[in-house]
Amino acid sequence: MVDRNNFRETYQIFDQDVIIEIINIYIDEYPEKLEKLARNIQERDLKSLRFNVHNLKGVLSNFSAPEAFEMIRNFEKMVVDLLEGNIQDLDETVFENQLSEIKTAVIKVGEELKTIKQEMEKGEFNFHPNG
């Protein structure tokens, strides 16, 4: 799910410690971000849901994970459409199903980032595979 070539291109100029810290922040924070989304749906708090899904989308955009990013972007669009259309009928089942798919993708990105981090710490992740 993480496009390693894109990841390499994005982070090749960064110090390894900085990259590891960015990965650690993602790993530490994504469970709480997912919990907030679930709580927002349960409480039918569309404004907070919009803010929190946008926040997660921004964080995820840093990690070259286009599939997960696209899921979250589409989810955000659903929320915005509800808010801007002044629609009061939030179908919790649809939103919970979408969130379940997003959770799976976000967790997978986290696992892949853990692997990249371990490879970096062992000196096995090469930022210049062809050079």
Residue 21 has what pLDDT?
Answer: 95
Check residue 37 and give left, alpha or beta (phi > 0: left; psi -120 to 50: alpha): alpha
pTM of structure: 0.88
Domains present along the chain, CATH in parentheses: 4-121 (1.20.120.160)
Tens of pLDDT along 36-60? Answer: 999 999 998 999 999 999 999 999 9
Closest to 109 in 3D by CA, of 30, 16, 5: 30
Q: What is the pLDDT of residues 1-27, one digit of tens each?
A: 899 989 988 898 999 999 999 999 999
Q: pLDDT (tens digit, 9 = 90+) per residue, 60-114?
A: 998 889 999 999 999 999 899 888 885 656 678 888 999 999 999 999 999 999 9
Residue with tokens 């799976």: 104
> What integer pLDDT is reported at residue 44 of this predicted model?
87
Task: Number of helices (H) and strands (E) in the chain: give both, helices first.
Answer: 5, 0
CA 40/CA 43 separation, integer angstroms: 5
